[in-house]
């Protein structure tokens, strides 16, 4: 399908904060995607935790492989809907750039350290990475991405931070959190593709780690249905457990992708947005059907309770949080322990948070050992 009227159009972007000449052959959203792929923060994703700490096994997802899977699922849905695939890919590849080392444990600890200094939100940090922290251009900080890519990267934002953003950039990417309007369909799609991706890959990683079992998963409607159908079609699969699991996950992924395409088409038909801006004034249009929404929620809740809150995961969580807290205290007490450009900054707490947030798991662990002498994890 060619570009739909409601898709974001790189020829009519709201533009970049620092105006640039168009590229001879690439669209504005292709350039955004390319800048993200070449960024330092993107390369660091390979050594950042998704759920399992990086050193726990080579086959578990990292932030990098998670982001690639989000991009794959996003593109699969974008094309039949006539959305801009390059913008979807750009947002998907950048959506987790602001994550701290050690996953959500690291982010929670850093947020606690920053109480009284503006807090720490990983979505806002992803925006900070592409707007301010990447150093690639002679004349400006950051990657100078288009409004549409930045809008999608800032997936959530507290009202307080939205008001602060609005002061710095009136009518900019913070505005929708004040007005209660929607982002582009490409951004809406990345939110859902993110959830589809982690629900699927966390089943795989969870079973691989031995923390959740096929028997437990069979209590979930979405898993059970595809498990039953896969076995009916391939009676020899019980003897090949890994192939059986992949077949079930593949079928679950496909059903969710087609469900989103159908449900979104129906909502677009109902609301008939005639432009990308009309999308922003409409309700959320990229959605699951209500039946699939319930099944995906059940799966998400299961993973939360049985995997993310598993005692074995929680044990590493405590140590990861301790590491982040102690790193924060060490750099605050002695800013010279950080590289010169961070040490020189006047906003000391924020400089420490930016430095820690950028670290990979293994770099953070090495720094922690260097500064405290203690070896955790
Ligand atoms: Mg994600």
Backbone phi, psi, residue 222, to 5°: -65, -45
CA–centroid distance, residue 69 to ligand 1 (Å) = 10
Residue 345 within any structural domain of the chain: yes
CA–centroid distance, residue 196 to ligand 1 (Å) = 10
Task: State the pTM of this model.
Answer: 0.97
Residue 220 within any structural domain of the chain: no
CA–centroid distance, residue 95 to ligand 1 (Å) = 6
CA–centroid distance, residue 233 to ligand 1 (Å) = 33
> 115-168, pLDDT tens digit by residue?
999 999 999 999 999 999 999 999 999 999 999 999 999 999 999 999 999 999
CA–centroid distance, residue 187 to ligand 1 (Å) = 13
Q: How confident is the model at residue 60 (pLDDT cuts 50, 70, 90)?
A: confident
Residue 285 within any structural domain of the chain: yes
CA–centroid distance, residue 97 to ligand 1 (Å) = 9
Residue 173 within any structural domain of the chain: yes
> 267-310, pLDDT tens digit by residue?
999 999 999 999 999 999 999 999 999 999 999 999 999 999 99
> 185-234, pLDDT tens digit by residue?
999 999 999 999 999 999 999 999 999 999 999 999 999 999 999 999 99
Contact 226, 233 (CB under 8 A): no
How many of the other CB atoms lie within 10 Å of CB of 370? 10
CA–centroid distance, residue 24 to ligand 1 (Å) = 32
pLDDT at 58 over 80: no
CA–centroid distance, residue 304 to ligand 1 (Å) = 15
Going from the C-alpha of 210 to that of each of 103, 218, 231, the distances in angstroms are: 20, 15, 22
Q: Among residues 376, 375, 363, 280, which one has the least CA distance to residue 321?
A: 376
Residue 4 within any structural domain of the chain: no
- DSSP one-letter code for 335: G
CA–centroid distance, residue 191 to ligand 1 (Å) = 8
The pLDDT value given to residue 54: 64
CA–centroid distance, residue 204 to ligand 1 (Å) = 16
Residue 237 within any structural domain of the chain: no
CA–centroid distance, residue 66 to ligand 1 (Å) = 7
**How many domains does the chain divide into?**
1
Task: Quote the tokens at residue 341.
Answer: 């450009």
175 burial via Cβ count (<10 Å: 0-12, 13-18, 19+): middle
Alpha helices of the chain — where are they, by DSSP H?
Answer: 28-37, 40-44, 63-81, 85-94, 103-113, 122-128, 147-153, 159-168, 175-179, 185-209, 214-217, 221-233, 241-271, 276-281, 290-303, 311-333, 340-343, 348-358, 361-372
Task: Quote the CA–CA distance of 71 and 95 in Å, as a whole number.
Answer: 10
The pLDDT value given to residue 55: 67
CA-based radius of gyration for the chain: 21
CA–centroid distance, residue 21 to ligand 1 (Å) = 32
Backbone phi, psi, residue 151, to 5°: -60, -45
CA–centroid distance, residue 373 to ligand 1 (Å) = 33
Task: Quote the CA–CA distance of 201 and 209 in Å, as a whole number.
Answer: 12
Contact 144, 16 (CB under 8 A): yes
* DSSP of 62-78: BHHHHHHHHHHHHHHHH
CA–centroid distance, residue 337 to ligand 1 (Å) = 31
CA–centroid distance, residue 67 to ligand 1 (Å) = 6
Residue 233 within any structural domain of the chain: no
CA–centroid distance, residue 37 to ligand 1 (Å) = 16
Ion ligand 1 contact residues with beta carbon within 5 A:
96, 194
Residue 357's domain comprises 10-200+251-372
CA–centroid distance, residue 193 to ligand 1 (Å) = 9
Report the CATH number at residue 62. Answer: 1.10.3210.10
Residues 6+ away with beta carbon under 8 Å from 354: 125, 128, 133, 342
CA–centroid distance, residue 100 to ligand 1 (Å) = 12
- DSSP one-letter code for 151: H
Residue 214 within any structural domain of the chain: no
CA–centroid distance, residue 327 to ligand 1 (Å) = 25
pLDDT at 260 over 70: yes
CA–centroid distance, residue 63 to ligand 1 (Å) = 7
CA–centroid distance, residue 238 to ligand 1 (Å) = 32
CA–centroid distance, residue 70 to ligand 1 (Å) = 7
């Amino acid at each position: 399908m060619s570009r739909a009227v409601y898709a974001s159009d790189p020829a009519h972007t709201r533009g970049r904060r620092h105006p640039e000449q168009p590229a001879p052959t690439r669209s504005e959203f292709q350039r955004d995607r390319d800048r993200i792929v070449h960024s330092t923060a993107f390369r660091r994703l390979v050594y950042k935790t998704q759920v399992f700490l990086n050193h726990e096994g080579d086959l578990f997802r990292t932030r990098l492989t998670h982001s690639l899977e989000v991009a794959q699922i996003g593109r699969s849905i974008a094309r039949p809907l006539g959305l801009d695939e390059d913008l979807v890919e750009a947002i998907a590849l950048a959506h987790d750039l602001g994550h701290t080392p050690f996953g959500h444990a690291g982010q929670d600890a850093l947020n606690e350290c920053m109480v009284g200094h503006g807090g720490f939100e990983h979505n806002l940090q992803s925006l900070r990475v592409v707007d301010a922290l990447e150093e690639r251009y002679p004349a400006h900080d950051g990657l100078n991405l288009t409004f549409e890519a930045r809008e999608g990267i800032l997936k959530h934002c507290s009202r307080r931070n939205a008001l602060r953003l609005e002061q710095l950039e009136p009518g900019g990417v913070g505005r929708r959190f004040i007005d209660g309007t929607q982002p582009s369909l490409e951004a809406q799609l990345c939110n859902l593709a993110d959830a589809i991706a982690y629900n699927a890959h966390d089943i795989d990683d969870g079973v691989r780690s031995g923390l959740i079992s096929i028997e437990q998963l069979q209590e979930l409607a979405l898993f059970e249905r595809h498990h039953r159908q896969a076995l009916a079609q391939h009676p020899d699969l019980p003897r090949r457990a890994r192939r059986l699991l992949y077949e079930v996950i593949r079928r679950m992924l496909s059903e969710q992708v087609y469900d989103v395409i159908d449900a979104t088409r129906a909502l677009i038909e109902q609301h008939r947005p005639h432009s990308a801006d009309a999308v922003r004034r409409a309700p959320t249009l990229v959605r699951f059907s209500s039946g699939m929404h319930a099944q995906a929620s059940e799966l998400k809740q299961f993973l939360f309770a049985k995997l993310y809150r598993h005692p074995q995961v929680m044990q590493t969580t405590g140590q990861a949080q301790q590491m982040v807290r102690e790193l924060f205290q060490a750099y605050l007490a002695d800013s010279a322990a950080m590289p010169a450009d961070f040490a020189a900054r006047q906003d000391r707490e924020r400089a420490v948070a930016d430095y820690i947030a950028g670290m990979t798991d293994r770099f953070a662990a090495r720094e922690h050992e260097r500064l405290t002498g203690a070896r955790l994890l």
